[in-house]
Amino acid sequence: MERGLAAIERTGCAACHEIPGIDWPEGRLGPSLRGFDDIGLIAGAVPNTPENLAAFVRNAPAVKPGSTMPAMPLSEEESRDVAAYLYGLDDE
């Protein structure tokens, strides 16, 4: 969880997304990542599984061609931590 949050802060996801656990900035360019567990498809394109989510947060255009979210500088391990953090948000 904490490593995921650290990676999210380092790469600046919140510039474009509202993310619980981060007060500022609360970007509006991308969708809110609150209640992310409940959606069926990531970015309306791929099934919402831990593997797909990790791949998407690392390199969205590779997972969803034409996605407006840019690839992010995350290692494979960090992208899994980020996915775990996002899935954990509903427990709060």
Interaction site with ligand HEC (CB under 6 A): 8, 11-13, 15-17, 29-31, 33, 39, 42-43, 57, 64, 67-70, 72, 74, 82, 86
Q: How far is the CB of 62 from ligand HEC (least distance, A)?
A: 12
Q: How far is the CB of 24 from ligand HEC (least distance, A)?
A: 15
Integer-rounded Cα radius of gyration of the chain: 12
CA distances from 85 to 30, 66, 81 (A): 18, 25, 6
Q: How far is the CB of 29 from ligand HEC (least distance, A)?
A: 5
